[in-house]
Amino acid sequence: MNLLKRQKSIVDVIFMITVFGVFMLSALFVVLFGAKIYKKTAHDMSINFNSRTALAYVTEKMHQHDRRGGVDITIDEGKPVLKLTQFVNSDEYCTYLYEYEGHLKELTAKGDVGLVKSAGKNILSISSFTANKETDSLYRFNIVDEEGNETQFYVSLYSYSDTEQ
């Protein structure tokens, strides 16, 4: 009786192929599920980035112009425009934030030039931008990105007072 030289049968070969096949299918499913999870995570991060970028950008611009008469909301062609005003060497400059052709845009121009929407710089792809003045120091914004995800936020002007700053 020779135990070391056992002959392989067809059952042993089929068993080894089956075990190898199960291993390969398991590995394939792990890779496919991992790719699906990665794709969803990347998409969620993109949505989060867009909403946070819009929120941070508008908030920071408003806080930079946080003085009496520095922030105003106007309507141009039926759409709201955030108008931020500052004076440099007694010259008035206006920065406009608005939605135009699917983008949040920014344009800075001398106060007497006015708004030329097509001349603005693209900041972020969006489908809608609305701005409302709730009180003298509180503004509400609603931004909808190109996928329909809505970000609503409020910005409060901290230095708003009766004296010119």
For 17, the token pair is 């192929």
Task: Specify the number of domains making up the chain.
Answer: 1
Taking only the tens place, the pLDDT of each residue in 45-60 is 888 888 888 889 999 9
For 123, the token pair is 């900041």
- Domain residues for the domain of 83 are 43-156
Q: In what order do the strands lie in the sheet with 91-100?
A: 71-76, 79-88, 91-100, 103-110, 121-133, 138-145, 150-156
**105 lies in a domain?**
yes
CB 154 within 8 A of CB 134: yes
**61 lies in a domain?**
yes
**87 lies in a domain?**
yes
Residue 20 has pLDDT above 80, yes or no: yes
How confident is the model at residue 2, as a pLDDT? 53
Taking only the tens place, the pLDDT of each residue in 135-164 is 888 999 999 988 888 889 999 988 754 444
**141 lies in a domain?**
yes
Please give the Cα distance from 142 to 125 (Å, whole number).
Answer: 14
**93 lies in a domain?**
yes
How confident is the model at residue 98, as a pLDDT? 94
**14 lies in a domain?**
no
How confident is the model at residue 162, as a pLDDT? 47
How confident is the model at residue 42, as a pLDDT? 92
Q: For strand 138-145 and strand 121-133, is the pairing parallel, antiparallel, or unpaired?
A: antiparallel
Please tell me the chain's helix, strand, coil percentages from 3-state DSSP, rounded to the nearest 5. Answer: 35, 40, 25
Average pLDDT of the chain, as a whole number = 87
Please give the Cα distance from 137 to 157 (Å, whole number).
Answer: 5
**91 lies in a domain?**
yes
pTM of the model: 0.72
**130 lies in a domain?**
yes
